[in-house]
Amino acid sequence: MGYGISVRALLRENATDTRSQLWYDYESIRKKGHPTKVIYGGFLPPFIVTMLKSKSRKRAAASRESMKGQRDKRVRKDDRRSPDRTRILKIFYRLTVPGGLLLLISALLVRAGFMSDAQTPFVQFYAYFVFGVGLLLSAFFKRSRLFFAILVVILSERTLAWFATRFLSTGTGHGVFEAIAVLLPINLLALTFMRDRGIISPAGRQRVIFIAVQIFAVMILLSLPKQVHAAALLDHAFVAPHFVNWSAISQPALLAFVVAAVAMIISLIRRYQPVESSLYWALVAAFVALQMGRGNHLATMYFSTGGLILIIAVLETSYAMAYRDELTQLPSRRSLNETLLKLGDSYSIGMLDVDNFKKFNDTYGHEAGDQALRMVASKLSTIAGGGKPFRYGGEEFTVVFPDKSVGEAYTYLDTMRKMIEQSAFTVRGKDRRRQAKKSKAAQNGTRDVEVNVTVSVGVAARDEERTSPDLVIRSADKALYRAKAKGRNRTIAVKPASEEMRIVSIR
């Protein structure tokens, strides 16, 4: 005996490139022994529809495997060429932008003749404006190191512009010039390794006193009857003069600049910070300024450029406080929210969570937990495919892939998951020096512990069901918890709605 059903079924073949679709629209009505009306394709009894569905699923699975293989090849190609080159380019960028770029622009303006003697009034205004704004901004944002750096630079520039030009032909003018050339790099180097501890605080008052002592010491030495001896000390030659004839400053000053520059570069390579970068380029700008001579308007321009570099560092650090996570140095939740507002119609979002992080903290301590988060963040910062990592909160991270499908994002994220799993992580104490480690091992009878840090990942993409970033994040978060429920250390993607077989309506 026949039977009837009333169903509209939609099948879409999972072929991402061709987007080919198989539509079967059929209707068998009432219980009259056989279907009496078929809208498409002739008679389609239920068992035939079931067979077609099975065949469609097989083709969809084959298509997914083919697409996954192609994506894996692209990812492997990206991974072969990206890590080392990306790291080198990142270091180069951090070392040269914006300080090196601003200094290069200043040099090009001088080379092109835009800073002739006729432009001296403009250069003077430029200096007063830059140093005034720099002192106000650094004080307002409580950037004490930058405040004192700007103060040291402006004192050096004003002293050369006023004192050295009036006593240029005497030994006093020469002594002031050489004293500034020696003391300026020493002060900038000292500020590099200090912390921001306030301007009018006890630490700030000590720094003011330190600067004042240097000024009075130079004045006293150069006012003594035997100032020739002080000037000779500043002009002491360590090597034959013909080796450094190209420099306008003495050999002690040149040595001070070289030592300061090398120490700053090493510090920047080990860990980049906008303040340290700006201090380094302010040092370079001061060196170029001193090469211009005593009281020259070109020297004023280069000193002012150094002040401008320090101002940009004030703005950079203020931005970083608002938009960058202090622990991991990844963009923060606020930065993520602004990024989500700028996304188009095609994007994927991955949610990552460090596995068993609470247990890790309880076992090895919060300091080790922070080290683990920094390690994971450093790996995520190198993710391929144009992914933008953010710290979402706690031990959770977010990676946004603009213009990437869920399959592509899945491949990049799973590659990153494996990379984190294979990374050796050693739990160390807060003090990592050899002597401290030896003494700790001797006292406790323990060694550094190597552990495996793993992450679970969930990924979802925007589609007709998930039309907003919040919905995509919610879906990715659900996939993340499914990954944890299935044993952790795995990646689970939410299947796009366009690739799912759905019953649209049942009558």
Q: Looking at the annotation, which residues are catalytic?
A: 395
Q: Is residue 459 within 8 Å of 326, Cβ to Cβ?
A: no
CA 437 to CA 443: how far, in whole Å? Answer: 10
Q: Which two tokens stand for residue 456?
A: 């679970």
Q: Order of strands across the sheet with 396-402?
A: 388-393, 396-402, 347-354, 455-461, 491-493
Q: What is the DSSP string of 215-229?
A: HHHHHHHHHSTTHHH
The residues, ordered by sequence, that sit 6+ positions from 88 with a Cβ below 8 Å of its Cβ are: none
Q: Is residue 473 within 8 Å of 398, Cβ to Cβ?
A: yes
119 burial class (0-12, 13-18, 19+ CB within 10 angstroms)? middle
The residues, ordered by sequence, that sit 6+ positions from 385 with a Cβ below 8 Å of its Cβ are: 75, 78, 401, 404, 408, 409, 411, 412
Pairing state between β 347-354 and 455-461: antiparallel
Q: Which two tokens stand for residue 279?
A: 């201090």
CA 136 to CA 117: how far, in whole Å? Answer: 29
What number of other Cβ atoms are within 10 A of residue 314's Cβ? Answer: 25
CA 270 to CA 419: how far, in whole Å? Answer: 22
Token match 């069901």: residue? 465
CA 83 to CA 91: how far, in whole Å? Answer: 12
CA 198 to CA 202: how far, in whole Å? Answer: 8
Q: Is residue 461 within 8 Å of 438, Cβ to Cβ?
A: no
Element (H, E) at 502: strand 502-506
